[in-house]
Structure 1
Amino acid sequence: MESKVPVSSYFGAMTFDQKAMRARLPKDEFKALQDTIRAGKKITGEIAGVVAHGMKEWAMEQGATHYTHWFQPMTGSTAEKHDAFLSIDRDGTPIERFSGEQLIQGEPDASSFPSGGMRTTFEARGYTAWDPSSPAFLMKGGTGLTLCIPTVFISYHGEALDSKTPLLRSMDAVSNSAIRLLNVLGTTGISRVKTFAGCEQEYFLIDKKFYSERPDLIMCGRTLLGALPPKGQQLEDHYFGSIPDRVLEFMQDVEHELYLLGIPAKTRHNEVAPHQFEIAPIFEEANIAVDHNLLVMEVMRKVADKKGFALLLTEKPFAGINGSGKHNNWSIGTDTGINLLDPGDTPTENINFLVFLVAVLKGVYKRADVLRMSIASTGNDHRLGANEAPPAVVTVFLGEQLETVLDAIESGKVDLKTEKQVLNLGLSQVPLLNKDYTDRNRTSPFAFTGNKFEFRAVGSSQAASVPNMVLNTLMAEALDELTDAIEAKIAAGKDRDSAVLETIREGITATKDIRYPGDNYSEALQQAAKERGLPNLKNTPQALRTLEKPDVRAMFVKYGVLTEQEIESRLNIRLERYVKGIDIEARTLQLMLKTLVIPDVSEYQGDIGSSFNNLLAAAEAIGLSDGAVASQANHLKNLAGNLSSLIDLTAELDECVEKIETIDSEFGKADFCADELLPLMNAVRAVADRLELMVDRSRWQLPTYSEMLFEH
């Protein structure tokens, strides 16, 4: 609902943020907590006890009766176990308690969460540990409120069982590497470098009544059958169009809930496809941005359900219609407020920008396959390269002006002593004019957009923790390589400015192949990728093989982001998830064919056959020509032929699904799903979709694309 008071007056009211802490914590403990969070250090038990008391009192004042450690297991979603504040004293007196120990650590059963082989089923102990950098919040549910405490999730032996722990580790790694480079560049006094993210969330809304009649949407989140309607998005009339009132009311209610949770939702609009929309936030630190995006998805689900909608977050819910992404806007900056990807308007800032820009290019060029792996999923395989999303090839778009700057530096036309030449190319005008100096390239998977990079290939349904963890790690590696190169040149006798400029030039030359200004949807990109040796990983099994490479594993281990065992576990989990996901889709398709489509078509065919027999009997009496009879006979033949093909393909599908279990290795199963099962499912769909357009609508039980996408 739209509030009649300014958003700023209630923003964050449901979070235990700095305002709430300052009001409920003693001054010294509040300052100590803030200093500890800023430094990224562990909270002492003494401070935790004071915070726990203040947090409990605040939560109970709002009406909360329970608390939970809110964490992110390797399911791609969130998890929570609720405990009551209520306790019973020794004399039987009821009392509300919440200790520092309960705040810092919880113990959910870890045996039922994915571990990828790190643990056996009977090893149940796992720990959740408070992440004080992400504010606790109150979540509405049922008829009450629950205090949710963001936490990491680790095993009894300390292995990361979640997505948050590696992200936090990667943030430490990139901070350490960035500070080291900044010191070499002469920028000192920096105690922390942070990465920031802003996740633009695309989604579809359809009426719940249609959703409830589609087994594929319920089980798989995407349609496995469905003929395209006469009108889709070809008129380009939906993008940024007037938002329907019912949808706008949904958006307003979502935003109200998000503002209470301290989530800075900024933009709402119609997306390209019919009944597709987007919500975009203001930038935040990467860890908090990921937490908040997970909450955005959860809040949207709850509000949609109340409004009679079904929220579709799957990347490609409708074949032939634009899919949904989660454009991950990523940047890096210091704790003193310097955005290291902002060109700035002074020579010193400009050199920092150029070095960090080259670091991004080096990282993406060297680890393009890892970046592609980070967003690989069943849903994204349907979306990537489907003429509305970045393809499976990772390239970087910088824009004409930046390309000119880098070319000038590489050719030797610019050096540090005449650095004004770089600024005169237009970079200095950015803060003055407050405008982007690069055009947009919506086909690029990784595009520079003024003072940040937009990683457009992230899937709409996935948690953004993994792509941001990978971005941070590859950046840490690239920053260290640049620092090593500069220090080696200085040690060899070069002055610092010359060493920096030479290193920048080398980086620009070495990464030219990753820069691609053209249409990433075109065949030209596919050819360019082949000529330049860029990885072109078409599906999830191909992308996941990246995690088997020794140098990739060594990178994660070196920077303390993932251990060998944790890497192996994530590979196993994602392979298993891929195979199980496609198996569920295939079995759902079997169900729909056998209980809905084939019976519907058979019944209609019977009616047409009876009608045709009646026609034959009366043809001579009514003077119907042989040609007219033949036309109707051909119509019946076409219907019967397609039905027969569908029955044969369904039998073939049955055999194919059962074959999965006979394959020994997980990669073998995944490859079979990608190369055999999915193409067969597509062939089944093609016949079923033809039949949908031949059958009387009153006989076709499944809601159609026309109904789902155009009836509000």
Structure 2
Amino acid sequence: MGEYINVVETFGCDVFNDSVMQARLPKKIYKELKKTIEEGKELSMEIADVVAHEMKEWAIEKGATHYSHWFQPLTGVTAEKHDAFITAPMDNGKVLMSFSGKELIKGEPDASSFPSGGLRATFEARGYTAWDCTSPAFVRHDAAGGTLCIPTAFCSYTGEALDQKTPLLRSMEAINTQALRLLRLFGNTTSKKVTPSVGAEQEYFLIDKEKWLQRKDLIYTGRTLFGAMPPKGQEMDDHYFGSIRQRISAYMKEVNEECWKLGIPAKTQHNEVAPAQHELAPIYAPVNIAADQNQMMMRILKKVASRHGMRCVLHEKPFAGVNGSGKHNNWSLTTDDGINLLDPGKTPHENIQFLLVLTCILKAVDEHADLLRESAADVGNDQRLGGHEAPPAVISVFLGEQLEDVLEQLVSTGTATHSKKGSKLETGVKTLPDFMKDATDRNRTSPFAFTGNKFEFRMVGSRDSISACNVVLNTITAEVFKEVCDRLEKAPDFELAVHDLIKEYATDHQKIVFNGNGYAPEWEKEAKRRGLPILPSMVDAIPALTTEKAVKLFESFDVFSRAELESRAEIKYEIYSKAINIEAKTMIDMATKQIIPAVIRYTTVLGESINTVKTAGEGLIDVSVQLDLLKKASKLLKAANSAMSKLSKLVEKIPEYAEGRDRAVFCREKMVPAMEALREPVDELEMIVDKEMWPMPSYGDLVFEV
């Protein structure tokens, strides 16, 4: 058994957090830095120099030799450039270790080498990283030693956001301003700040490293492009919440310890529904910190897996036919003095402030459902959404029986007079306690569900940053809050105006509420009838970024400029095309070099066996079964070869289409069906060909032998 750490003593030990700053910084410097963090005050270079010096001294004590501005460009992963603390050698040949306020506040990576969607030309290289002092610095230990990582935003020389963090911070400012206006109207004079709080559940698969190395598709694309279902999948539901295997337990223990050292409040871990699938969920944190910590968590999941002879697969749909992996984004709005704006209380019908906030969010989601869908648009999500417990690609809101009943009262009579209460759950066993159950059940098919005191956006893909969806949630909510405040501030009768707004929003936006089965075929027809956007693929969703409605929304709150939105759309089209191109080339490579040769060997051996049996039996032995098998394999081999040839020709045609939407549409409409056409006969062949001759581990090998 491994050693167990003291969690209380270990938690945050590698983080330059508030307690460390308070202990190490002079009182005056600490107070000024806290003002910057809490109130957004500008940080002087004099204070930055002191903070940088103490941060460096602390980091060196932790074993750090380098520092890095750690940022999140539009590549989907984090980026960093490491600089040593050493200065130029002195005359005596010695060096000093230094770190200035300027180095803390500003870095300069090459902006032209990251996706910019046309914002920067290749020869325009300058870009800047700026310290986000609201997200604490940390020391990361790995094979390179200790590195002081400073969370930063990343902007171009001309000020455009080239990262995930900058617009997130902008959206946080927008919703804080408008939410405080709303609270003041309700008589709250004590709350000073409203922050979106997020808990991001992280799902992932663990695969044995040796088997992973035998699958080119997993290596190059993160998912299996071929693979027949094993006799058993997840239909027995025996993996979900099941006993965790010792190998996985050892892995989870180390993941937790690594997370805790970096101040990530990893709390819940369990087996997920699909074989070899698991989940790790943290406690809530301010959304920019939660986004940073989720990026750190994904890196830890991968790094620790390597130490245990495994690979952590974060693709949204690594295996067809079983659950994919998502990242449920649990979002709420909380004040600095502990008030949750999404807490309905015991009697929601009497909580006027909550009802106004709730109906504001309904209006926001209804009016910008296309943007919310786009915020979770991902190549892998195209395979995941719409089945196996993933929500459908149609945005709707689940409120549950209690709130739906309150909403219906508001719509029908203009007043809510009662709230449904949870009844007593009687177990029928005398030795078990009876207890009060919640007033509302859960709906696992809803993409945006109210779950007690928060909304759970279940559409986000497991690899994606949670920043994009929270930028949208923050901004669309800020827009409606602003509209409400503008109207209420001018209203002669505040209570009557609030009442009218709640009824208006509940009535006008009731169509976004759906408490039924999101997988039912009837729901898509009903969604179309209601006028909800149907955006099944990433390519369908991307145009939502650049509509006049979206530009007006984001520009009015200085979250995105038109140029930034257009650049992001271009980047997403490019990401989609490149991902599909890589998948297609990988399929062709596997089919050409592995699968077709293996099937030819199998049919050759089978043919020779038939001839041998015929000769040995002098034509008297029935070989019809072998012949049928040979005919079937040969027919499927021909179909696979034909499909591969068609796919190869399509890959050659990609450069003929202009970069951007045209190329992405070609990949979606032509290449994806061609890839599916190649997979079909190959998966059938896997069920026929001798396992010893099949050139790669099967699904059963991958998900049941971890």
The TM-score normalised by the length of structure 2 is 0.96
Deviation (angstroms), 1:101: 0.7
Q: 1:18 to 1:434 in 2, by over 3 A?
A: farther
Query: 1:473-513: CA deviations, max 9, x gaps?
Result: 1111121222234345x1xx4x1111101100000001111
Query: 1:541-563: CA deviations, max 9, x gaps?
Result: 11001123111111111110011
What residue is the counterpart of 2:591 in the other structure? 593
Q: 1:526 to 1:345 in 2, by over 3 A?
A: closer
Deviation (angstroms), 1:277: 0.1
Inter-partner Cα distance in structure 2 for 1:5 and 1:302: 20
Deviation (angstroms), 1:631: 3.2
Inter-partner Cα distance in structure 1 for 2:422 and 2:277: 36
Inter-partner Cα distance in structure 2 for 1:347 and 1:590: 58
What residue is the counterpart of 1:479 in the other structure? 481
Inter-partner Cα distance in structure 1 for 2:350 and 2:2: 42
What residue is the counterpart of 1:62 in the other structure? 62
Deviation (angstroms), 1:344: 2.8
Inter-partner Cα distance in structure 1 for 2:90 and 2:605: 77
* Aligned match for 2:525, one of 505, 524, 527: 527
Inter-partner Cα distance in structure 2 for 1:109 and 1:389: 38
* Aligned match for 1:679, one of 651, 669, 673: 673
110-119 vs 34-43, which moves further: 34-43
* Aligned match for 2:615, one of 614, 617, 633: 617
Q: Which runs of 4+ in 1 moved over 6 A?
A: 346-349
Inter-partner Cα distance in structure 1 for 2:232 and 2:453: 38
Q: Which amino acid aligns with 1:457?
A: M
Query: 1:17-67: CA deviations, max 9, x gaps?
Result: 011111110112112211220112332212211111110110011111110
Q: Which amino acid aligns with 1:593?
A: A
What residue is the counterpart of 1:699 in the other structure? 693
Deviation (angstroms), 1:665: 4.8
What residue is the counterpart of 1:667 in the other structure? 661
Deviation (angstroms), 1:122: 1.1
Deviation (angstroms), 1:345: 5.4
Inter-partner Cα distance in structure 2 for 1:5 and 1:250: 15
Paired residues of 1:304 and 1:310 also in contact (CA < 8 A): yes
Deviation (angstroms), 1:274: 0.2
Matches within 5 A, 1:112-151: 112-142=113-143, 144-151=145-152
Residue 573 (structure 2) pairs with residue 575 (structure 1): yes
What residue is the counterpart of 1:398 in the other structure? 399
Q: Aligned with 1:336: secondary structure?
A: coil
Paired residues of 2:448 and 2:456 also in contact (CA < 8 A): yes
Matches within 5 A, 1:297-308: 297-308=298-309
Residue 30 (structure 2) pairs with residue 30 (structure 1): yes
581-590 vs 637-646, which moves further: 637-646
Paired residues of 1:66 and 1:84 also in contact (CA < 8 A): yes
How many residues are matched?
695
Matches within 5 A, 1:262-661: 262-344=263-345, 350-412=351-413, 414=415, 421-422=417-418, 425-426=420-421, 436-487=438-489, 490=491, 493=492, 495-620=493-618, 623-624=620-621, 628-661=622-655
What residue is the counterpart of 1:87 in the other structure? 87
What residue is the counterpart of 2:15 in the other structure? 15
Paired residues of 1:579 and 1:673 also in contact (CA < 8 A): yes
Q: Aligned with 2:146: secondary structure?
A: strand
Matches within 5 A, 1:153-302: 153-302=154-303
Deviation (angstroms), 1:666: 1.9
Q: Which amino acid aligns with 1:454?
A: E
Q: 1:519 to 1:348 in 2, by over 3 A?
A: closer
Paired residues of 2:181 and 2:485 also in contact (CA < 8 A): yes
Paired residues of 1:224 and 1:585 also in contact (CA < 8 A): yes
Q: Aligned with 1:146: secondary structure?
A: strand
Q: Aligned with 1:278: secondary structure?
A: strand
Inter-partner Cα distance in structure 2 for 1:642 and 1:464: 43
Inter-partner Cα distance in structure 2 for 1:369 and 1:21: 43
Q: Aligned with 1:470: secondary structure?
A: helix
Q: Which amino acid aligns with 2:456?
A: E
Paired residues of 1:331 and 1:451 also in contact (CA < 8 A): yes
Deviation (angstroms), 1:568: 1.0
Inter-partner Cα distance in structure 2 for 1:10 and 1:496: 51
- Computed over aligned residues only, the root mean square deviation of the Cα atoms, in angstroms, reads 1.8
Paired residues of 2:606 and 2:626 also in contact (CA < 8 A): no
Inter-partner Cα distance in structure 1 for 2:613 and 2:5: 71
Paired residues of 2:37 and 2:134 also in contact (CA < 8 A): yes
Q: Aligned with 1:457: secondary structure?
A: coil
Deviation (angstroms), 1:346: 8.3
86-95 vs 279-288, which moves further: 86-95
Inter-partner Cα distance in structure 2 for 1:52 and 1:119: 31
Inter-partner Cα distance in structure 1 for 2:282 and 2:179: 26
Deviation (angstroms), 1:648: 1.0
Q: Which amino acid aligns with 2:488?
A: I
Deviation (angstroms), 1:128: 0.7
Deviation (angstroms), 1:111: 1.6
Alignment gaps of 5+ in structure 1: 416-420
Q: Which amino acid aligns with 2:461?
A: G
Deviation (angstroms), 1:683: 1.2
Q: Which amino acid aligns with 1:378?
A: V
332-341 vs 392-401, which moves further: 332-341
200-209 vs 87-96, which moves further: 87-96
Deviation (angstroms), 1:337: 1.3
Inter-partner Cα distance in structure 2 for 1:513 and 1:25: 54
Inter-partner Cα distance in structure 2 for 1:618 and 1:595: 35
Q: Aligned with 1:111: secondary structure?
A: helix
Paired residues of 2:570 and 2:661 also in contact (CA < 8 A): no
Inter-partner Cα distance in structure 1 for 2:50 and 2:165: 25
Q: Aligned with 1:53: secondary structure?
A: helix
Alignment gaps of 5+ in structure 2: 425-434
Deviation (angstroms), 1:349: 8.7
Q: Which amino acid aligns with 2:572?
A: R
Inter-partner Cα distance in structure 2 for 1:167 and 1:109: 22
Inter-partner Cα distance in structure 2 for 1:300 and 1:520: 31
What residue is the counterpart of 1:418 in the other structure? none
Q: Which amino acid aligns with 1:477?
A: E
Q: Which amino acid aligns with 1:613?
A: N
What residue is the counterpart of 2:103 in the other structure? 102
Inter-partner Cα distance in structure 2 for 1:436 and 1:340: 19
Paired residues of 2:421 and 2:438 also in contact (CA < 8 A): no
Query: 1:578-606: CA deviations, max 9, x gaps?
Result: 00000000000000000000000001111
% identical aligned pairs: 51
Q: 1:264 to 1:428 in 2, by over 3 A?
A: farther
Deviation (angstroms), 1:185: 2.7
Deviation (angstroms), 1:348: 11
Q: Which amino acid aligns with 1:233?
A: Q
598-607 vs 633-642, which moves further: 633-642
Q: Which amino acid aligns with 1:247?
A: I
Inter-partner Cα distance in structure 2 for 1:320 and 1:42: 53
Q: Which amino acid aligns with 1:663?
A: Y
Query: 1:62-93: CA deviations, max 9, x gaps?
Result: 11111000000110110000001111255354
